[in-house]
Amino acid sequence: MTETLFGSNLVAMVTPMEPGGALCEPGLTGLVDHLLGAGCDGIVVGGTTGEAPTLTDAEATRLVHTVATRVENRARVIAGVGTYDTVTCIRRAKEAEAAGADALLLVCPYYSKPTQAGIVAHCLAVADATELSVMLYDVPARTGTAMDAATLIELARHPRIRAVKDAKGDLFEAMTVMARTRLAFYCGIDELNLPYLAAGATGLVSVVGNAYADRNAELIAAVRGGDLDKARTLNAALLPLADAVMRTSQGAIMAKAALADLGVIPHATVRLPLLESPPEHLRRLRAAMAPALSRSELVSG
């Protein structure tokens, strides 16, 4: 049921932009086609990797509408609507629903550093605002506040709060909450995809998947099929990519650079305060991509 709501092989999609910073419509539709062709069954639009803090409300709504129209029910479209302001989140949730989103991604309010009771009240207010299912996003490295296990367990009582994108990295806590609730967990840390899947995660919300969703699909299938030897081999091949994309500078920057190198999007443009990759970062990325590209050529040949 959870896969019906969100998918299993999800990608935190970048937002393609023109060199001047405007949204790049051809890049956006081409990227959606690329993700669908690579086995992605869930697309997160306007999340952190989509440079959400730099998007206007109109741009965020336009992104959801464009992606949902292009997808045509071939994958789930999950709209990122989280901010530090509950009223704004509610408005964005309603706009995303009207634009065609299938579900919402709701990050823990950032910068404000609310109490756990405040987080609960915030999430319940947004979940009550639409008929869409909600995936909570727990990423304390960015928000400054973690969602405690007790908070997740309490929020799980809401009928539309159905999943968690876990970028906290506390696998024991994740397993504990999985055992005590019906919440589906999605790994939000590319470097930890295999251990989360092996521990019972429903799927992934991947940044690396922008360029290599097909590899993630293979990893998910191997774990589900009980072939852990194959899963470990696949994971070992993915780790250099995860390292290059997620640990060189910043995920959106590096994912766009990878997609531009692959010819999927025409430009690697990001908006300030982000900057495009310098040459030394591109060299590191391309070194990690080379074995994966060779493998693709062998498979296609």
For residue 201, the SS3 value is coil
Does residue 299 belong to any structural domain of this protein?
no
Task: List the single range of 83-92, 147-156, 164-173, 292-301 with lowest mean pLDDT.
Answer: 292-301
Per-residue pLDDT for 243 more than 60? yes
Give me the CATH number covering residue 32.
Answer: 3.20.20.70
Residue 2 within a domain: no
201 located within any domain: yes
- In the prediction, which pLDDT does 4 show? 80
Active-site residue (options: 110, 111, 113, 165): 165
**Mean of per-residue pLDDT scores for the chain:** 95
Question: Which structural domain, as residue segments, surrounds residue 163?
Answer: 9-293
Q: What percent of the chain has pLDDT over 70?
A: 96
Region of 51 on the Ramachandran plot (φ > 0 left; ψ -120 to 50 alpha; else beta): left
Strands 9-12, 76-80: pairing is: unpaired
Is residue 165 annotated as part of the catalytic site, yes or no? yes
pLDDT for 102 equals 97
Q: Please check the confidence at residue 292 and state whether its pLDDT lies above 80.
A: no
| Residue 3 placed within a domain | no
Segment 193-228, tens digit of pLDDT: 999 999 999 999 999 999 999 999 999 999 999 999
Per-residue pLDDT, 293: 67
Residue 169 lies in a domain: yes
pLDDT, position 295:
57
How many structural domains is the chain composed of?
1
| Residue among 62, 73, 6, 74 nearest 36 (CA) | 74
> Average pLDDT of 55-60?
96
> Which position has the higher pLDDT, 2 or 57?
57
pLDDT band per the 50, 70, 90 thresholds, residue 300: very low
What DSSP character marks residue 102? S
How does 253-291 read in b/e, with b if 16+ C-beta sit within 10 Å? bbbbbbbbbbebbbbbbbeeeeebbeeebbebbeebbee
Q: Contact 166/193 with Cβ under 8 angstroms? A: no
pLDDT of 26 strictly over 90? yes
Global confidence as pTM:
0.94
- Is 264 a known ligand-binding residue? no
Q: Is 49 annotated as a binding residue?
A: yes
Q: Which of 226, 182, 221 is nearest to 204 (CA)?
A: 221
**DSSP β-bridge partners for residue 87:** none
Residue 27 belongs to a domain: yes
* Catalytic, out of 84, 94, 111, 137: 137
The predicted structure's pLDDT at residue 298: 37
4 occurs within a structural domain: no
| 134, two tokens | 């909600």
Active site (annotated) includes residue 168: no
Does residue 214 belong to any structural domain of this protein?
A: yes
pLDDT in tens, 100-116: 999 999 999 999 999 99
Residue 2 has pLDDT above 80, yes or no: no
With a cut of 60, say whether residue 301 has pLDDT above it.
Answer: no
